[in-house]
Chain A
Amino acid sequence: MTGAALVLEDGRVFRGQAFGATGTTLGEVVFCTGMTGYQETLTDPSYHRQIVVATAPQIGNTGWNDEDDESRRIWVAGYVVRDPARVPSSWRSRRTLDEALGEQGVVGVSGVDTRSLTRHIRERGAMRGGVFSGDALTDVDAMVEQVLASPRMAGADLAGQVTTEAGYVLPAQGERRYRVAALDLGIKTNTPRMMAARGIETHVLPVTATIDDVLAVEPDGVFLANGPGDPATADGPVELARNVLERRIPLFGICFGHQILGRALGRGTYKLRYGHRGINIPVIDVDTGRVAITSQNHGFALDGEPGERFDTPFGAAKISHYCPNDGCVEGVRALEVPAFSVQYHPEAAAGPHDAAPLFDEFVSLMEDPNATAG
């Protein structure tokens, strides 16, 4: 067994065995509490530059299949687990998780007391760290030094690193009813799939797209995807969102896209201590009081209070959804222009499907753009 260690910027070291590829990897250490869906998580571009800690102790039980990737590759910078499966069991499995990580050069560590690690991050906040295995496993001071030399997540502009190089089109299922321009800030495979099922043809555009690029698609609506990094760096997408709002084109944003809409509406964003990453997170709709159990993955959040109404350059808006665990803003709605967004993942994958009806709301907005999301 090859030794490996997770080294945190505060000097704490968690030792284990090499898992996946061997070598060095650096990133922000975050924990994800989902008990299922590691394949979707690992291939979610929002995890770019993050070393993910799985709190579920037995990982890899269902292997790796050819259907559940949420993008073209594994994005996580590193993977920290306790007990990897020796053999996978699933009729869809094609290879083991270990093999998938190895093939894609993702450095991981297993055998770690992931609960102690999670508690540490919960108390001290998400922080930089590195996984070092094989020859890279050297003395602690040297490894900590490497970690400290790596960039922080706050201030990181990462969407450009995960976005598509060129635009592409995904057809609607059956008859095309709408055309949507989706800004790829780190879009997941299931999002266009959810739209296609509702008769939407999705034109995925790179993050550098301008309002003219968007208008060239002649969209019925604009979608701002999820993605990695600090929303405070996303000036281009925020500008684009303002242009869309001005034109009253129906706009729907999720996760990073939600933070961009919020910023376009004049709200600030801030970094959470350790973020929301899991598939069991309650969100309350202020209007109905109903709870959705949601899939989430965010380290930043929008300023605001549940139910708060506020003025924006585009008329009134309100904080429409919040997380009852900590009061964090989970959704915003413009009341005078057709735009809304949520901090969580209605496309799920991984996670529950409670929020899927948000795509129907998007369809309703495109149906009648004069209505507003409020």
Chain B
Amino acid sequence: MPRRDDIDHVLVIGSGPIVIGQACEFDYSGTQACRVLREEGLRVSLVNSNPATIMTDPEFADATYIEPITVDFVEKVIAKERPDALLATLGGQTALNTAVALHERGILEKYGVELIGADIEAIQRGEDRQRFKDICAAVGAETPRSAVCHSMDEVRATVERLGLPVVIRPSFTMGGLGSGMAHTAEELERLASSGLAESPVHEVLIEESVLGWKEYELELMRDRNDNVVVICSIENIDPMGVHTGDSVTVAPAMTLTDREYQHMRDVGIDVLREVGVDTGGCNIQFAVQPETGRLVVIEMNPRVSRSSALASKATGFPIAKIAAKLAIGYTLDEIRNDITGETPASFEPTLDYVVVKVPRFAFEKFPGADPTLTTTMKSVGEAMSLGRNFVEALGKALRSMETGAAGFWTTPDPAGVTAQDLLDALRVAHDGRLYTVERALRLGASVAEVSAASGIDPWFVDQIASLVELRAEVIAAPVLDEPLLRRAKRSGFSDRQVAALRPELAGEDGVRTLRHRLGVRPVFKTVDTCAAEFAARTPYHYSAYELDPEAESEVTEQRDRPKVLILGSGPNRIGQGIEFDYSCVHAAMALRAAGFETVMVNCNPETVSTDYDTSDRLYFEPLTFEDVLEVVHSERGSGTVVGVIVQLGGQTPLGLARRLTEAGVPVVGTPADAIHLAEDRGAFGEVLANAGLPAPRFGMATSFTAAKRIADEIGYPVLVRPSYVLGGRGMEIVYDEASLAGYIARATQITPEHPVLVDRFLDDAIEIDVDALCDGHEIFLGGVMEHIEEAGVHSGDSSCALPPITLGRTDLAVIRRSTAAIAEGIGVRGLLNVQYALKDDVLYVLEANPRASRTVPFVSKATAVPLAKAAARIMLGATIAELRAEGLLPAKGDGGELPATSPVAVKEAVLPFHRFRTPEGHGVDSLLGPEMKSTGEVMGIDASFGKAFAKSQTASYGSLPTSGRVFVSVANRDKRAMVFPVKRLADLGFEVLATAGTAEVLRRNGIPCTEVRKHFETPLDDQPNIVEIIRAGGVDMVINTPYGNPGPRVDGYEIRTAAVSRDIPCVTTIQGAAAAVHGIEALISQEIEVESLQALQAALRSSR
């Protein structure tokens, strides 16, 4: 069947900001979809509020709307664009929910838009848990026994019947939000009530526990000719009870016989057909009782999912791309398999390697949050690796994590722990459970004991036992000879691990020298979808060690074009996310266009950078020094490597700059010594002093005494933090000596090499972020962003406006001069990000990072200048003047002097607080501080600040209120500044609620308000306190600024967590309150319109 000829224009909905449970995998899938649809000659319109995505680059769609993904805004886009069809199965749960809402509000019908990929009925059949269970029963498949409940009474009656423990799953939430396992009646009450609240339809499923069963997933695809194929099977190492996003997973399934696998396949296909997903991808989860093999269906996603991205990268089968083609009418047999170029896509990929995915957590960012893994997803990212066996892939995945431990034995064992302690610990799922498995085995626990305690299949436990045995051999061998070293490498041991076992080899470098002398090097195999049955055209490689010294590498020679390696950013984590992938992808595009062969190295399966056709070659490898060096070796063997780019992938590759340079690798761009100048505070202080630039006074301390002396000298408040961090890890503002002592006591890793920095904290300063390019001769200001929150909130969590809304010409001139001086002083070649604080007309330099920053994609979109592309070219020798002449940069002007008519763009951070709970089940504090906590961001863009800000708030949290009740409680220092914004809200018709102190100030200023009781004040009568009012839905917006260090007992904590749980705007700074008032005014007074990025950028370009 050829493609449908009745569709000319498709609207694609993206997934919005990166949140836990919905990460950049949907940028990957959406980008593929847009690309495919346009290749087919269709007009593509796109809505996505996330500026950090590749898909929202103007060249990927005909009309790109960086607008909130809400029914109202999407309707505006539909009204303006009038598409024939809507494709919503590639934008995660956000897009699917929006499509359902558009249908229910009659908007699709009104504008004659056909939903393609999956129809409403199929979506509902797949997502409505009871209907789904009925469907499974109809095709003869089992599901866990359960009941759908709409009230707590129904919940209690059901549990009476099923017995505890039970699983609670709210309907229509993503990433398992609100779901959990209740072992006790108390847990049941808490989880089920919050589950009912989280579900948009107030519905939860109460289900028989399949805790501890084996867990599997199948990725399937169906076309309109009813052909169905299984793309990939995935086995979770962590058994049922841990969300699949938080599990260590393996592809293909390792412990199924063909009989059981085919049964699973049959059930999967029957369910898919019965649910009626027309075309495209779908994911089905199964649980298998390990003693009997009883198979039950858990759930299905009638759309491309996170697992689909994993399956695509694991197999080389591009699920999203194919899904888009199927949606417009092609059948699987009509689509070529890109990898072989010869065979069709109507087949099932077969693997001759093993894939392991390991989740990346960020519990250290949320003190007090319960780190137990449950059915609610908590991980913020993941790394995938490929090896020729499970242990090799596991070793590579563990060292891809970018945490303290880089595989087994790389961190000291906790002291005094026994095998029994570890077996006890294994009973509860936790981050790093496989490390606990290894320790337990090493301390004498048997495979059977470990398997029984953890529920992990004995096959996997035995695989880890094989590593424990091999470890003993490596330690015991008189000499580490070639056969033993080869076996160790073949089992995934890194040089660093071997060095930990053989101290006489003088560390990782010594091991590498020995290994190279013995000729033990990896070969590079190819991901080809077909286990080598057909020749592969696509250079998608992974490393492996074979026993045979003559084993072959499959990297082909290419000596015509110079090669550039781009090091990606590894697993997503807070502080290092999709923004860096964006820059890496842009570098690949720009350098390929400039005639280089581009080679990508990365290990994050969710990204566009690890799509096999983003670069000329892809190495799916950990970003460790050892692994990168072997890739460089491989590429040097097949051609000429002229450069390795480390400054676009965030701190991960940047951290390799020095060692790579020392190893003779041609790191291009800002040299390693220059990076050091920016990162070392002492050296950077000299750069500033030489340029005559002021910086907050600071000092470095390795003890409390030293820190106290510095703080006394420069005065409180001070900002304290460890050196060399990204995302503000471990930063705090301390207001007095006691808190300083507390901080030093908590900061465990203080050494002379890693001192604590103590900075003067500039209270009430305006923070400014600048992204700039420098070619060694001149600078190009990419953008000057003014933070809406004052200095002290991490720049990644702060909302900001571009162009800056309150800075004058003289301020900008000082910023330009200072940035140029810093770029010159450091010796930047490429991108530079500088953070300033403006206080009392003095521009203080806070820090400078000679690398791509988080804001590069935002600035690029807001100013229509591709900064990362330009940076990549500059690193390879182009000058700013040349790039201006070429048209990559504007002929004149830059982001520091935008035309007066340019639109205002507002970036807002999206925070994950509502996903975390303390072990007692309370919310975690939503307070912002110097440590970054946001997972993603949105952009609002419009003609004025108010409208742009309103859009940014709508995109991140749902709309700002235009009427209702606002609760105000601010710290004393903010009380004066609060008066004007709150007065305006009262004038706009809001009812103002305030606590006693705030109310007094408001009344004195003539603002009517209702006084409410704080939650810890003794009740005088039956009046509810403010926390109860918020929880009951009696407040539409909260303005609450805190004082002092955050912590569960600090005033305001309960208020903010209540606001988070109700999903109402919670403003924690006065500047934020002022911006919110702007936004509310815009919403009330004017009709907010949508405009495509292409139109906005064209206007901007023509006015330059």
Smallest CB gap from B214: residue in A? A89
What residues on A are CB-neighbors of B541 within 8 Å? none
Against A, the Cβ 8 Å flags (1 = close, 0 = not) of B314-355 are: 000000000000000001110000000011101111111110
Q: Which residues of B contact A237 (CB under 8 A)?
A: none
B482, chain A: closest CB distance, angstroms? 14
The distance from the CB of B1084 to the nearest CB of chain A, in whole angstroms, is 57
B532 — which chain A residues lie within 8 A by C-beta?
31, 55, 115, 118-119, 122
Contact of B255 with A89 in the complex, beta carbons under 8 Å:
yes
Give the A interface residue count (CB, 8 A): 58
Q: Which residue of A lies closest to B289 (CB)?
A: A91
B257 and A291 contact, CB distance less than 8 A: no
Known: A35-B252, A282-B333, A325-B342. A92 touches B257 (CB 8 A): yes
- Inside 8 A of B230's CB, which chain A residues have their CB? 293
Interface-located stretch among A127-135, A209-217, A347-355? A347-355
Determine if A281 and B347 form an interchain contact, defined as CB atoms under 8 angstroms apart.
yes
Closest approach, in angstroms, between the C-beta of B568 and any C-beta of chain A? 25
Residues of A contacting B229 in the complex (Cβ-Cβ under 8 angstroms): 291, 293
**Would you call A90 an interface residue if the criterion is a C-beta within 8 Å of the partner chain's C-beta atoms?**
yes
Bound CA span A357–B690, Å: 82
Q: Is A111 an interface residue (CB 8 A)?
A: yes
Q: Is the CB of B227 within 8 A of A114?
A: no
Ordered nearest first, which 4 A-B pairs have the shortest CB separation? A37-B258, A89-B459, A55-B531, A350-B258
Q: Are B390 and A58 in contact (CB under 8 A)?
A: yes
Q: Taking the nearest CB of chain B, how far is it from the CB of A185, in angstroms?
A: 23
A–B complex contacts, Cβ < 8 Å, 25 sampled: A31-B531, A35-B351, A37-B257, A55-B350, A56-B350, A56-B352, A58-B389, A61-B255, A61-B459, A62-B256, A62-B257, A86-B463, A87-B458, A87-B459, A89-B457, A89-B458, A90-B255, A113-B551, A116-B548, A116-B552, A119-B552, A278-B531, A325-B342, A326-B343, A351-B262
Given contacts A37-B257, A280-B349, contact A91 B459 (CB under 8 A): no
A91 surroundings in chain B (CB, below 8 A):
290-293
A119 to B546, CA, bound (A): 15
Asked if A325 and B344 sit within 8 Å, CB to CB, the answer is yes
A33 → B minimal CB distance (Å) = 4
Q: Considering only CB atoms, which chain A residue lies closest to B532 in the complex?
A: A118
Q: Interface SS of chain A: helix, strand, loop or mixed? A: loop
Count of B residues near A, CB < 8 Å?
A: 60
- Asked if B333 and A291 sit within 8 Å, CB to CB, the answer is yes
Contacts of B533 in A (CB 8 A): 31, 33, 55, 118, 122, 278
Interface residues of A in 78-123 (CB under 8 A from B): 82-83, 85-92, 111-116, 118-119, 122
- Is A68 part of the binding interface, using a Cβ–Cβ cutoff of 8 Å? yes
The answer to the question of A16 belonging to the interface, with a C-beta cut-off of 8 Å to chain B, is: yes
Contact B352 A55 (CB under 8 A): yes
* CB of B668, distance to nearest CB on chain A (Å): 34
Complex CA gap A41/B531 in Å reads 17
- A14 interface residue, CB < 8 Å from B? yes
Assess whether B947 is interfacial by the CB under 8 Å rule: no
Given contact pairs A31-B533, A82-B388, enumerate 7 new A-B contacts (beta carbons under 8 Å): A34-B350, A61-B459, A111-B547, A115-B525, A119-B532, A122-B534, A352-B348
Interface string of B251-286 (1 = CB under 8 A from A): 011111111011001100000000000000000000
Task: State in angstroms the CA–CA spacing of A115 and B535 once bound together.
Answer: 12
Which of B256, B333, B350, B554 touches A33 (beta carbons < 8 Å)? B350
- Find chain B residues with CB under 8 A from A116 CB: 546, 548, 551-552
- A271-310 vs B: 1/0 string, CB under 8 Å? 0000000111110100001110100000000000000000
With both beta carbons as reference points, the residue of chain B lying nearest to A293 in the complex is identified as B348
Rounded to whole angstroms, the CA-CA distance of A82 and B530 in the bound complex is: 17
Q: Across the interface, do A57 and B352 meet the contact criterion of CB distance under 8 Å?
A: yes
Q: Does B661 contact A (CB under 8 A)?
A: no
Q: Is the CB of A114 within 8 A of B257?
A: no
Other-chain residue from A15, A31, A35, A87 in contact with B447 (beta carbon distance below 8 A): A87
> Residue A40 at the B interface, CB < 8 A?
yes
B346-A282 in contact (CB<8A): yes
Q: Does A151 interact with chain B (Cβ within 8 Å)?
A: no
A83 CA to B552 CA, complexed, in Å? 18
In Å, the complex CA distance between A348 and B258 comes to 10
Q: Decide: B343 and A324 in contact? CB cutoff 8 A.
A: yes
CB of B736 closer than 8 Å to a CB of A: no
> Which parts of A334-354 form the interface with B (CB within 8 Å)?
348-353
Chain A CB within 8 A of B462 CB: yes
Binary flags per residue of B223-234, CB closer than 8 Å to A gives 1, else 0: 001110110000
Alpha-carbon distance between A131 and B344 when the two chains are bound, in angstroms: 35
How far is B258's CA from A68's CA once the two chains are assembled, in angstroms?
9
Contact with A along B989-1031 (1 / 0, CB 8 A): 0000000000000000000000000000000000000000000
A22 at the interface (CB under 8 A from B): no
Please provide the chain B residues from 382 to 404 with a CB less than 8 Å away from any CB of chain A in the complex: 388-390
Q: In whole angstroms, what is the CA distance A119 to B265 when docked?
A: 29
What chain A residues lie within 8 Å of B344 (beta carbons)?
282, 324-325
| Inter-subunit contact B257/A56 (CB<8 Å) | no
A65, closest chain B residue (CB): B257
User: Is residue B194 within 8 Å, beta carbon to beta carbon, of the partner chain?
Assistant: no
Chain A CB within 8 A of B466 CB? yes
Report which of B259, B266, B343, B354 forms a contact with A57, defined as CB distance below 8 A. Answer: B354
